[in-house]
Structure 1
C-alpha cells in the first residue's frame, strides 16, 4: 500500500462539497459567476471576513490568483517585492513576469517570512527613476515552509506598507491551515483588515478547485472583471465555484478541514521525531519537512508519495510530507510503521 502525502490536492473534494455540486448539477444556472450561488457565496465571504464592502471574485487556482491580482494592482512600471522562497518567485515559471512586471526578491528567514526592515534598502535603491518602482509586497500565509505570520508581524508589515505607498497581498493557498493553526493568533476578520488583498484557498483545502480572491479596499477594484477576462481567468460555469465556497463556510467546514490537516501533520511530525528523523523546520501547519539520508529514499519511495523539497548536503535531502482534509490517523500511523527508524 502507498500512502499519499505528496501534497494537499491529491484527493478530489470534501464529500459535503461534492454533494452540494451534485445537488445543483442539473438545475440550470447562469454562467460567468452571475448566478445565485456565487452571489450568496460572495456575501457569505464578506460576512465571515468582516469586510462588507470588499470585492470577492473566484478563480480556479493559486498561480492564476497570484498573477491576476499582482498584475491588476500594479501600474506598468511597478514591481512586486517577494520573499525569495515565495510561490510567485519560485514555483510559477515567470508567469507574473510574463505580464511585464518585475519581481524584486528579499531573503526570507528559515520560516519563509520577511520583516519590514528588510524592505528599507530595496526602497532606497529604487528611488532611482531608471529602475522599477516597488508597488506591492507579496507574502504567503501559511508560508512555503509551513510557518504562520503572527498578528504582530502582519501588523508591522502592513503598517510599513501603508506608510511607504505599498500594497500588501497575501497568498492564501493554505490560509485555512494557517488560521486553524495553534501558532495563529488572528481571527479571519483581523487578518482581512491587515492586508489590501488576499485569497481564501480552496484547492488545497477541500474543494475540487478554486480560490476566493478578496480585495478589501473598494477603491482598488475598478475594472477588475475586465482584467480577469483579459488574463483568461473567467470561468463559464462559475456557479460551480459559488456552490463550493458557499459550502465551505457552512458549519465552520473550512476551518475544520484546516484543523484536521494540521492535526494529522503534527501527529506525523511527532512520530518522525520519535523514530529519530531530523526535522528541517518545525511546522505548525499541514506541511512536514524532514532531512533524510539519500540512502533510505528508495525505502520511502516504496511506501509513500511525497516530494523532494531541496538538497540538504551531499548525502541528505529535505523531503516534504503534506496532510490534507482526507488524511486520517490510520494513514499517519500506517506510514510511520512503514518508515525506517533512524536512531
Structure 2
C-alpha cells in the first residue's frame, strides 16, 4: 500500500544523508555554532537578501510555533489565526498551554485577510477586560493547499506594521508555496514582508528540522535564552545545520518542492479530466478531491490517505499529499487505478 497521507513518510533525500555520513567523524562545536550551521545561515541570508536576519534551527513545526509565539507575546496578548490554522486545529492546545489565546477567523481558502484582522481588532477594544491581539499567524502554503500572493502578503504586513502587530508565517511547506506555478513570491519577499517566519525542512527532504528566521536583531534579541529554557537548543546542532546547508546547495530545496507539486498536479489534472471536483483549487502538493464514498472505500484498499471532510451523504473530500520522493511510476499507477475505480462507479455520482 502506498501512502499519500503526508509528505514526511520517507527519511531524507540521499544527498542529505550522504552529507551527514561524510561529515560524521568531524569534530564540531555544539549548539548551532558548528561550521555547517554557520554556512547554512550565510546561504539563507544571501537567498533572502537580508544580512540582518537572525536564524535558528530547531527540530519541528509545532515546536517552532510554540517557541516563536510564546517568545513574542506578553501574558495578556493573543494570536489571530485562520480557523484552519495549524496552531488552532492541530497542535493539541500547545499555544493555549503557554497562556495565550488563539482568536480564530473564518476563511474559505485557508488565508487570513486584512479585513478579518481589522474585525478582530475592532472587537477587542474593551481594555483591560479582553485579551490584546498582538500577532497574526498565517501559513504558506496553507493547511488546505492555497498560497499567498506577493500582494496579499504585502497587504497583511503593512496592516500589521500600522497596527503594531507581529506577522508570523508558518513555512512548514514554504518550498511548495514558492515553487507553485501560480506563485509570484520569493524567499526574499517573505523575509521582507514578515517579522518572523520559518523554512520547513521536515516536509521537504530533511530528516527533520525547521529554520526560524527573524527579520532583524531587535525582534530576536533574547530568543536564544528562550530556546535553551524550553529545551530546543540541540547540543548536536550540526545535525540540523548540515541538512539546511545541503538543501540550499544548488537549489535542492526548490527542486524537491517543485517535484512534489508536479506530481500532485498530474494527479489533479487526471482527476479533472474524469470530471472530479475539488474542495479547494489544486495549487501545491496538497489535493482535496471530492469523491463518492464508494470510490474512496475502493481506493483505500491500495492507497492510504485522510478523509478530510464530509460533503453529503454520498461524498467526502479526501486529502492526498505528494512528496519530494513520490515517483513518477507511482503517480502513473495511481492514475490508472483511479480511472478504473472511478469509472466503475460513475452511475452513483
Q: The TM-score by the shorter chain falls in which range?
A: over 0.9
8 A contact 1:277–1:341 mirrored in 2:
no
Query: 3-state SS of the aligned residue for 1:138?
Result: strand
Number of aligned residues: 341
The gaps in structure 2 that reach 5 residues or longer are none
8 A contact 2:65–2:87 mirrored in 1:
yes
Partners in 2 of 1:232 and 1:338 — Cα distance?
46
Cα deviation, residue 214, structure 1: 0.2
Cα deviation, residue 99, structure 1: 0.5
Cα deviation, residue 297, structure 1: 2.5
CA RMSD of aligned residues (A): 1.1
8 A contact 1:40–1:246 mirrored in 2:
yes
Deviations 1:159-195 (A, max 9, x none): 1110001010000000000000111112211221000
Report the counterpart of residue 291 of structure 1 in structure 2.
290
Deviations 1:185-243 (A, max 9, x none): 12211221000000000000000000000010211111101111222212221101000
Pairing of 1:234-313 with structure 2 (within 5 A): 234-313=233-312
The gaps in structure 1 that reach 5 residues or longer are none
**2:113 paired residue among 98, 115, 120:** 115
Greater than 6 Å deviation, 4+ residue runs? none
Pairing of 1:212-231 with structure 2 (within 5 A): 212-231=211-230
Deviates more, 1:89-98 or 1:308-317: 308-317
8 A contact 2:110–2:144 mirrored in 1:
yes
Query: 3-state SS of the aligned residue for 1:136?
Result: strand
Deviations 1:247-290 (A, max 9, x none): 01100101011110110000010112223332222121111111
Partners in 2 of 1:240 and 1:49 — Cα distance?
22
Cα deviation, residue 93, structure 1: 0.7
8 A contact 1:83–1:108 mirrored in 2:
yes
Query: 3-state SS of the aligned residue for 1:319?
Result: strand
Report the counterpart of residue 170 of structure 1 in structure 2.
169
Partners in 1 of 2:230 and 2:158 — Cα distance?
31
Query: 3-state SS of the aligned residue for 1:96?
Result: helix
Deviates more, 1:33-42 or 1:98-107: 33-42
Pairing of 1:197-212 with structure 2 (within 5 A): 197-212=196-211
Report the counterpart of residue 54 of structure 1 in structure 2.
53
8 A contact 1:35–1:239 mirrored in 2:
yes
Query: 3-state SS of the aligned residue for 2:43?
Result: helix
Query: 3-state SS of the aligned residue for 1:104?
Result: strand
Partners in 2 of 1:113 and 1:159 — Cα distance?
16
Partners in 2 of 1:235 and 1:33 — Cα distance?
7
8 A contact 1:3–1:335 mirrored in 2:
no
Partners in 2 of 1:275 and 1:4 — Cα distance?
22
Deviates more, 1:14-23 or 1:118-127: 118-127
8 A contact 2:173–2:204 mirrored in 1:
yes
Query: 3-state SS of the aligned residue for 2:258?
Result: helix
Query: 3-state SS of the aligned residue for 1:43?
Result: helix
Report the counterpart of residue 342 of structure 2 in structure 1.
341
Report the counterpart of residue 158 of structure 2 in structure 1.
159
Report the counterpart of residue 131 of structure 1 in structure 2.
130
So what's the TM-score if we normalise by structure 2?
0.95
Partners in 1 of 2:190 and 2:221 — Cα distance?
23
Report the counterpart of residue 192 of structure 2 in structure 1.
193
Deviations 1:290-336 (A, max 9, x none): 11222233311111121111222233211011111111221111111
Deviations 1:127-180 (A, max 9, x none): 211111011000000011111100111111111110001010000000000000
Query: 3-state SS of the aligned residue for 1:10?
Result: coil
